[in-house]
Amino acid sequence: MHIPLLARLFLMLLTMLIPAAAVAGVNTLDELEKVYGDKACMTCHEKVHGEWQKSLHSKSVVHVLGGLRNFITFGLTRDWKKPVDKANLMRCMHCHAPLLEHASESLMADIGALIVAAFDGKEGAKKELSRLNVNCIVCHNTAAIVETNLRGQPKPGVYYGPTGKTTPAHGTEKSAAITTSAFCSRCHWLYTPPDGDTLYCNTLYGSYQDAYRSSGGAATCQDCHMKSKGRGHTFPGAYEPEMVREGISMDLHATGAILQPGKGIKTAVIIVGLMNNAGHRIPDG
Amino acid sequence: MDVTARTDSGAVIVVAKKEYREIGLDTEGNERLGAWQIKEIIDLTLPPQKRIDERFIVEFPENTNTAEIEVILKYYLSPSYESTVHKLTKKISFGK
């Protein structure tokens, strides 16, 4: 793949920026987007980027505004009487906007205010929040290593993928983990924040391991939600009717009979069969 | 899932309504909707790779000769966002 010199220099510069920003904590969404945004990836990965833009991973904050706002307004402020700070917001953002782990406290306070404002319909707030998501950098760098205790932290500027194919644009490394369901479990499962609490946003990976794998299932999340039918980085789920139809099949049997001799009660016996073809319980997320 | 029957005489009979979902509970057993509040679940979902057969028996008015059974399976992403997953109908008759 030919990459123009200027683009290569830009990408190299971007790579160099990452560790510095990670130490300092970024103060604005502009800065966060400049260092950890998806725009640079578009240069070479236009098709995949286009797929991702159609996915809910690209809307992982604005798509759940109601839940985030309720956590801030009713959870933190009313019930827990706790500050809307980074530690508390990361309970949600660990999955909904993981790159905010690089944000400063002041940016996190701004994000909290933006969420409430966007929920209240304040112009511009939702647009600002739409810049937060689960982008290329998250899966291919910051969250790419599942066993950080064994394999260490991801290297800045290195992008992890299933092949590890080299490119002059940036460092690459092969990741076995990125093709496993365990990789997706980072967010599609119970979340335990550093204080030891448990968050039940969804429990999908639990039923995958304990009900699907335990009964002999072998497909991975990626098999059905990426590889099948060329779904790629659109990661379709319950918001795609076709995906739900594929996940659940239904059949109907009904028989008319006249029961109770002498009385002749006209009766229908109806049997509806529902088969969950998926590798996890339905519904879940 | 909604199961209804329509008779040839125009009667509409609601046979059954079944829901498959998780119910989130706090530690005191109260149903909760916020993820931060939920600590246990009652699992009423469809389990993976399993078939569930729901059986219903419904009685019809004496003047019924035929009836159409309709089953609609809907997926609710939120109370206000639904999509129809499957819709099946079957006609039955009574006697000859």
Interface of A with B in 60-89 (CB under 8 A): 67, 70-71, 74-75
Do B60 and B76 lie in one domain? The reply is: yes
Residue ranges covered by each domain of chain A: 5-183, 184-219+237-285
Decide if A164 touches B, using CB distance below 8 A. no
- The radius of gyration computed from the CA coordinates of chain B, to the nearest angstrom, equals 18
- The per-residue pLDDT for A20 is 40
Phi, psi of A273 (to 5 degrees): -100, 130
- The per-residue pLDDT for A6 is 53
Q: Taking the mean position of all CA atoms in its chain, how far away is CA A55?
A: 9
Do B41 and B61 lie in one domain? The reply is: no
The secondary structure element, H or E, covering residue A92 is helix A86-96
- The radius of gyration computed from the CA coordinates of chain A, to the nearest angstrom, equals 23
- The per-residue pLDDT for A4 is 56
The 10s digit of each residue's pLDDT in A50-95 is 999 999 999 999 999 999 999 999 999 999 999 999 999 999 999 9
Do B95 and B61 lie in one domain? The reply is: yes
| ipTM given for this complex | 0.95
CA distance A25 to chain B (A): 26
Average pLDDT, chain A: 92
d(CA A126, CA A135): 18
Q: What is the mean pLDDT of residues B37-45?
A: 95
| Both structure tokens of A140 | 């291919």
Cβ within 8 Å, pair A252-B73:
no
Q: Are strands B2-7 and A265-276 parallel, antiparallel or unpaired?
A: unpaired
- The per-residue pLDDT for A8 is 52
Give the model's confidence band at A102: pLDDT under 50 very low, under 70 low, under 90 confident, else very high.
very high
Q: Helices in A120-154 by DSSP H: which ranges?
A: 125-129, 136-137, 148-151
For the cut 50, the answer to whether the pLDDT of residue A21 exceeds it is no
Do B63 and B34 lie in one domain? The reply is: no
CA distance B46 to chain A (A): 5
d(CA A32, CA A61): 15
Q: What is the dihedral of CA A21, A22, A27, A32, to 10 degrees?
A: 80
The 10s digit of each residue's pLDDT in A163-179 is 999 999 999 999 999 99
The 10s digit of each residue's pLDDT in B52-95 is 999 999 999 999 999 999 999 999 998 888 999 999 999 999 97
| Secondary structure letter of residue A240 according to DSSP | S
For the cut 90, the answer to whether the pLDDT of residue A23 exceeds it is no
Average pLDDT, chain B: 95
Cβ within 8 Å, pair B73-A238:
no
| Secondary structure letter of residue A131 according to DSSP | T
d(CA B68, CA B95): 15
Domain that holds residue B9: 1-18+54-96
Do B9 and B28 lie in one domain? The reply is: no
Lowest mean pLDDT among A50-64, A189-203, A212-226: A189-203
The secondary structure element, H or E, covering residue A34 is helix A29-36
Under DSSP, is residue A202 helix (H, G, I), strand (E, B) or coil? coil
d(CA A21, CA A31): 9
Do B58 and B94 lie in one domain? The reply is: yes
Interface of A with B in 36-65 (CB under 8 A): none
Decide if A265 touches B, using CB distance below 8 A. yes
Give the DSSP per-residue string, B13-68: EEEEE----EEEE-TTS-B--STTT--EEEE-SBPTT-EEEEEEEEE--TT--EEE
Do B62 and B90 lie in one domain? The reply is: yes
Do B59 and B13 lie in one domain? The reply is: yes
Neighbours of A137 (CB within 10 A): 21
Neighbours of A115 (CB within 10 A): 29
The 10s digit of each residue's pLDDT in A140-162 is 999 999 999 999 999 999 999 99
- The per-residue pLDDT for A1 is 46
- The per-residue pLDDT for A189 is 94
Cβ within 8 Å, pair B75-A75:
no
| Both structure tokens of B63 | 């003047």
For the cut 70, the answer to whether the pLDDT of residue A22 exceeds it is no
Do B88 and B58 lie in one domain? The reply is: yes
CB A71 within 8 A of CB A92: yes
Cis amide linkage into residue A283, ω under 30° from 0: yes
Q: What is the mean pLDDT of residues A18-45?
A: 82
Do B63 and B92 lie in one domain? The reply is: yes
- The per-residue pLDDT for A19 is 42
The domain total for chain B is 2
| Secondary structure letter of residue A234 according to DSSP | G
CA-based nearest residue to A95, from A226, A220, A14, A187? A187
Q: Which of A274, A277, A280, A284 to mutate to test the interface with B (most CBs of B within 10 A)?
A: A274
The 10s digit of each residue's pLDDT in A242-251 is 999 999 999 9
CB A269 within 8 A of CB B90: no
Q: Locate the chain B residue with the closest alpha carbon to A70.
A: B34
- Which residues touch A46 (CB under 8 Å, ≥6 apart)? none
